[in-house]
Amino acid sequence: MKNDLTGTSIIGRSRGAVTADAFRAFDPTTGNAVEPAFYSATLDELDRAAALAEAARIPYGVIPGRERAIFLRRIADNIEALGDELIERATLETSLPNARFVGERGRTCMQLRMFADLLDEGSWVDARIDHAIPDREPLPKPDVRSMLRPVGPVAVFCASNFPLAYSVAGGDTASALAAGCPVIVNAHIAHPGTAELVGNAVADAAMECGMPEGVFSLLFSSGYDIGQALVKHPSIKAVGFTGSRRGGRALMDIAAARPEPIPVYTEMSSVNPTFILPNAVRERGDAIVEGLLASVTGGVGQFCTKPGLVFLPTGSPGDGFAEKFDRMIEDTAPAPLLTGGISDAYKAASSKRKNEVKGFTFNTQSDLEGFAVNPSTFEVPAVDYLNTPELNEEIFGPTTLLVRSDRHDELLAIARSLEGQLTASVHGTEEDLRSYADLIAILETKVGRLIFNGFSTGVEVCPSMVHGGPYPATSDGRSTAVGSRAMTRFARLVCFQNFPDPSLPDELKEANPLGIDRMIDGKMSRI
């Protein structure tokens, strides 16, 4: 092996200690622990990482965007240079297929390079200039200029379900580093080896590009104490997290209770309601049922955008759809979930749901090894759904709930009752979309993304993407965790009044040396 895993945290340019608090990853297929041991960071190591991040805050924050871009691209290069070793370790720690990680690595490196491109282009800072009018009456108008600047050191929590794209060098880290913020990552307990490999790639890139020490640290921990202490630490100025509703809310509460509350971007819980309207079942039922199965079982149902709630018409075409879907679920092989905890939670929630609904279908294979679970589907009439708030709870894993209704007013009532969601999808004709405009208007107040004739899984990384939504989908429904706008989560506005040109950041200098889009005296301009 090229990279021997040490199991120790990365504290700036040095390594953490081999501590007494050791833990190991598990192979979800067998449920057995795999080597080597990883060692929880101490609170003292956390303090050192935070002090280094604090010291790096100003030097890293003033490095020109085009130099930060070089750093981000180097991270991507270093991740690719890990080659098969990274793919194999990620597969070992998650039991997700190799091909998934080839794709996820591609997305991870693409995100890093996308933010690098944004830094090269430079207009993301929302630069605005209002020129002075010294002879304005009754008072002179000052020269006022402003732009986005980094918010300060950011704590990033790795996601269980995206060991690459939303972990050590994933979307949160990439957007925070791009915005000019040092990052301290809290590794996920389920894939520490993957975390160390990627952590080395980032730390090496920081050295190779001459970035200040403390721009990046990676902390291992077997429990919640390090993560919670990180969010409480006065040097930390923002948090990125993807995980459970309980975990995300706990971090939100800790951050809100700080002497200095800080912004927290948690992505937590979404059942991604999917409305299949009568014309869609009639005209494209077979295509939709196959798309639905792929969306529900892809990644063993462990995507945050998995459709967990599907509204299907009552009556015969809907019945045929439901029967076909039931058979397909029965025919889907069991597969291991990411951790023993997730597997146990899936089994417990599925058992509970059996008692809450009228119909259910499980793949009944009984010899489940490791963290494997059986895919399942549940069915309930709309009236029962409306009377059972528990049915809105997300079950993480390969399962969904079919709610049977074709009454327009019932769909509206259901839409009104929904909590905040990442997405909602509507399958129908263009005519349906017009006649259900009232449904769309309600859904718009509940979600970050509305999808027509498509499924919610598969999140395009592009400037217009919104991967967010009102609580509990996320902690901050104004923001997106995917796409180029994600960078602004880790920035804040700073204004310079009557500053002489040489003392202004390049983005605000009169001559526009970076050639970026700016708002000048109220009008967009590239001059």
The residues annotated as belonging to the active site are 267, 304
144 is a site residue for its own copies (CB under 8 A): yes
Going by their DSSP bridges, the two strands 144-150 and 359-362 should be labelled as unpaired
Q: In 9-111, which ranges are E strands?
A: 10-11, 14-15, 22-27, 32-39
> 238 — phi, psi (to 5°)?
-165, 160
130 is a site residue for its own copies (CB under 8 A): yes
134 is a site residue for its own copies (CB under 8 A): no
Nearest CA-CA partner of 243 in 218, 269, 265? 269
Measured distance CA(251)–CA(257) in Å, rounded:
10
206 vs 426 by CB, closer to its own copies: 426
252 is a site residue for its own copies (CB under 8 A): yes
The residue type at 73: R
343, HSE (Cβ side, Cα atoms, 13 Å): 23
Q: Which of 149, 245, 282, 284 binds its own copies (CB under 8 A)?
A: 149
167 vs 474 by CB, closer to its own copies: 474
Q: According to CB under 8 A, which residues from 4 to 23 bind its own copies?
A: none
Nearest CA-CA partner of 160 in 236, 253, 95? 95
Q: Which of 98, 327, 495, 515 binds its own copies (CB under 8 A)?
A: 495
224 vs 452 by CB, closer to its own copies: 452
492 is a site residue for its own copies (CB under 8 A): yes
Q: According to CB under 8 A, which residues from 258 to 277 bind its own copies?
A: 260-263
287 is a site residue for its own copies (CB under 8 A): no
Q: Which span (171-179, 277-285, 379-387, 493-501) binds its own copies, by CB under 8 A?
A: 493-501
283 is a site residue for its own copies (CB under 8 A): no
Q: Which span (9-17, 175-183, 354-362, 460-468) binds its own copies, by CB under 8 A?
A: 460-468
295 is a site residue for its own copies (CB under 8 A): no
454 is a site residue for its own copies (CB under 8 A): yes
Q: Which of 134, 430, 511, 527 binds its own copies (CB under 8 A)?
A: 430
- For residue 98, the surrounding DSSP H or E stretch is helix 98-121
389 is a site residue for its own copies (CB under 8 A): no
Sign, CA dihedral 399-405-408-411, equals negative
> Tokens for 482?
């995917």
- SS3 for 156-192 is EECCCCCCCCCCCCCHHHHHHHHHCCCEEEECCCCCH
DSSP 64: -
Shortest distance in whole angstroms from residue 340 CB to its own copies = 30
Q: Which of 47, 499, 506, 509 binds its own copies (CB under 8 A)?
A: 499
Residue pair 414/311 in contact (Cβ under 8 Å)? The answer is: yes
256 is a site residue for its own copies (CB under 8 A): yes
Shortest distance in whole angstroms from residue 206 CB to its own copies = 21
Kindly list the distances between the CA atom of residue 353 and the CA atoms of 9, 62, 330, 495, in Å, as whole numbers in the listed order.
40, 53, 17, 53
48 is a site residue for its own copies (CB under 8 A): no
Shortest distance in whole angstroms from residue 472 CB to its own copies = 8
38 vs 275 by CB, closer to its own copies: 275
> Tokens for 287?
């295509």
Q: Which of 52, 271, 391, 451 binds its own copies (CB under 8 A)?
A: 451
110 is a site residue for its own copies (CB under 8 A): no
Q: Which of 119, 466, 481, 514 binds its own copies (CB under 8 A)?
A: 466
Shortest distance in whole angstroms from residue 297 CB to its own copies = 17
Measured distance CA(146)–CA(519) in Å, rounded:
10
- Number of residues located near its own copies, criterion CB under 8 A: 83
61 vs 341 by CB, closer to its own copies: 61
Angle (CA) 286 289 293, round 5°: 145
Helix (H, G, I), strand (E, B) or coil at 34: strand
Shortest distance in whole angstroms from residue 211 CB to its own copies = 17
Q: According to CB under 8 A, which residues from 55 to 84 bind its own copies?
A: 57-58, 61-62
97 is a site residue for its own copies (CB under 8 A): no
> 82 — phi, psi (to 5°)?
-70, -20
Question: With 0-12 CB in 10 A as exposed, 13-18 as middle and 19+ as buried, what is 387?
Answer: exposed
247 is a site residue for its own copies (CB under 8 A): no
Residue pair 360/354 in contact (Cβ under 8 Å)? The answer is: yes
408 is a site residue for its own copies (CB under 8 A): no
405, HSE (Cβ side, Cα atoms, 13 Å): 23
Sign, CA dihedral 359-363-365-368, equals negative
Nearest CA-CA partner of 446 in 310, 302, 308, 272? 272
34 is a site residue for its own copies (CB under 8 A): no
305 is a site residue for its own copies (CB under 8 A): no
> Tokens for 110?
């693409």
453 is a site residue for its own copies (CB under 8 A): yes
Q: In 382-418, which ranges are E strands?
A: 399-404
Shortest distance in whole angstroms from residue 513 CB to its own copies = 18
527 is a site residue for its own copies (CB under 8 A): no
193 vs 470 by CB, closer to its own copies: 470
470 is a site residue for its own copies (CB under 8 A): yes
Going by their DSSP bridges, the two strands 264-267 and 238-242 should be labelled as parallel
Shortest distance in whole angstroms from residue 35 CB to its own copies = 34
89 vs 128 by CB, closer to its own copies: 128
